[in-house]
A and B are shown apart, each in its own frame.
Chain A
Amino acid sequence: ETGVTQTPRHLVMGMTNKKSLKCEQHLGHNAMYWYKQSAKKPLELMFVYSLEERVENNSVPSRFSPECPNSSHLFLHLHTLQPEDSALYLCASSQSGLAGRNNEQFFGPGTRLTVL
């Protein structure tokens, strides 16, 4: 596997379910990101992890819970979501998160989430 992978690619869940999104990067990067992409809205940065430490949390509801066990893996745990949480969830990684001036982010293919 190369680049950034995400599983599952599609997820349908009820409002009472608990599920997790997984992201894995094979680029040797030190920073990982979760974004939410909704129609007709700019990409929303949700969380940033740098060297496994959360460095940014953009007022995301607590029903979204990130986890970064190591620099290659990032999870987004979901519980009691709302229909408005339906979106494409994108994971990205970059070489550095805190000290980078040339921080191209490399993205995974996303998980298309539908909350019923």
Chain B
Amino acid sequence: AQKVTQAQTEISVVEKEDVTLDCVYETRDTTYYLFWYKQPPSGELVFLIRRNSFDEQNEISGRYSWNFQKSTSSFNFTITASQVVDSAVYFCALSEANNAGNNRKLIWGLGTSLAVNP
């Protein structure tokens, strides 16, 4: 069965600290996608990144970076030099394949609530 685990329920850091949010997943599919979403206090989930299971290259986007390790089934997210505006709940998700082999249904982690304090 597919499963996404975000072991950190809440993290609190001081501005400018680096912080890593962990995501561990389980799947029997060989082809899958991994996602990170951000949910600020306003409520909407904001798409951050999608990663294909065949692409293990790490990705950097400004202060955000993602470390995909297939060997440990992890897809961790690091924010460098955190800012107060980074305060939000962050969700990791896994895209499940349906019987036709198309990825559609998202399996969600419980989220990590990040508080960045000034």
Contacts and interface: CB of A to CB of B under 8 A. Distances in A.
Interface of A: 4, 40-43, 45, 48, 56, 88, 90, 92, 97-110, 112
A8 to B, nearest CB: 13
A112 B27 CA distance: 32
A108 B44 contact: yes
B45 interface: yes
Interface in B41-80: 42-47, 50, 52
B80 to A, nearest CB: 24
B110 A102 contact: no
Interface of B: 4, 31, 33, 35, 37, 42-47, 50, 52, 91, 95, 100, 102-110
A104 B35 contact: yes
Nearest to A88: B43
B45 A107 contact: yes
A41 B109 CA distance: 9
Nearest to B110: A42
Nearest to A107: B45
Given A4-B44, A98-B104, A110-B43, 17 more contacts: A42-B4, A42-B109, A43-B91, A90-B44, A99-B102, A101-B33, A101-B102, A101-B103, A102-B103, A103-B103, A104-B47, A105-B45, A107-B45, A108-B44, A109-B42, A109-B43, A109-B44
A82 B9 CA distance: 28
B95 A103 contact: yes
